[in-house]
Amino acid sequence: MKDARASAGLPFMKMHGAGNDFVVIDSRGRQSVATARLAAALGDRHRGVGFDQLAEIREAEGADYALDFWNADGSRAGACGNASRCVADYMMGVLQRGAVTFTTERGRLAAVRRQDGLISVNMGDPILDWQGVPLAAEADLMHLPLSGDPVAVGMGNPHCVFFVPDAEAVDLEREGATVEHHPLFPKATNVEYATVTAADRLRMRVWERGTGVTLACGSGACATAVAAHLRGLTSRQVTLDLDGGTLEIDWRDDGVWMAGPTAHVFDGVLTPAFIAQNA
């Protein structure tokens, strides 16, 4: 059955967490509309709306809602921490609660509103085996056989984390694009460059798989914090300064928790013509 919104337009929300920006479509109680083609069209910052990721909210069994993610090129993303926090903020308002549960490809996750107002989300346990990341072949995740001695961590998405003397000096567009499609990563990878600035603080910049340079990446911040602790550089609690803001990571026994700011910027409606052209 054709969704009635095709003739009435499609409502959406524009949100961001620390500059990591998203289009969010609430499809609860309605037919799912997000597709690779629609995501790529919406992600175009000149001909669409523009975003780092698209998030679609759906009904779920055993949780308050489900979330699906797409990158700006139309490819699927298994996780998106900052979008998860933004949607959790929205859904807490809808449900009039200070905590929610939701499902993604990672399984059932949880989010809470802290006393300071920040939204904290449990991104689950890090994936620390080569097949789960995934890598194309068995390798030491703590010392990948790549120039720069990076670390591989899975957080629903694959991540390749480099620790460098000065993250600001990295040519992120050139280096990130090269590493993203290295043959070691059969599904490509997100790429992070981090510098230890204090015993509990990191400066991080990120190239996101399927999107490019972004101002922040939640799953990337989690992966970087995990990698830093496993390398003996920081404790399990660390603050990360990204291009778009600050995120707090706490790797606990029940998963990697991430907290930071959220913003609901505006609401809009996609025209029937745009939907028809990109169905």
Q: Does 142 fall in a domain?
A: no
148 — alpha (psi -120 to 50), left (phi > 0) or beta? Answer: left
Check if the beta carbon of residue 141 is closer than 8 Å to that of residue 130: yes
Where in the sequence numbering do the catalytic residues fall? 80, 217
Check if the beta carbon of residue 208 is closer than 8 Å to that of residue 43: no
Are 105 and 33 members of one domain?
yes
Are 65 and 21 members of one domain?
yes
Q: Does 145 fall in a domain?
A: no
Q: Does 59 fall in a domain?
A: yes
Are 57 and 161 members of one domain?
no
Are 44 and 77 members of one domain?
yes
CA dist., res. 278 & res. 260, Å (int): 34
Are 212 and 170 members of one domain?
yes
Are 243 and 268 members of one domain?
no
Q: Which domain holds residue 77?
A: 5-123+262-277
Q: Does 144 fall in a domain?
A: no
C-alpha count within 13 angstroms, C-beta hemisphere, residue 83: 28
From first to last of its 279 residues, the chain has per-residue pLDDT tens of 344 444 678 999 999 999 999 999 999 999 899 999 999 999 999 999 999 999 999 999 999 999 999 999 999 998 999 999 999 999 999 999 999 999 999 899 999 999 999 999 999 999 999 999 999 999 999 999 999 999 999 999 999 999 999 999 999 999 999 999 999 999 999 999 999 999 999 999 999 999 999 999 999 999 999 999 999 999 999 999 999 999 999 999 999 999 999 999 999 999 999 999 998
Q: Does 85 fall in a domain?
A: yes
Are 155 and 104 members of one domain?
no
Are 73 and 165 members of one domain?
no
CA dist., res. 90 & res. 22, Å (int): 13
Q: Does 159 fall in a domain?
A: yes
Q: Does 128 fall in a domain?
A: no
CATH number, domain of 267, equals 3.10.310.10
- Number of independent structural domains in the chain: 2
Are 203 and 272 members of one domain?
no
Q: Does 244 fall in a domain?
A: yes
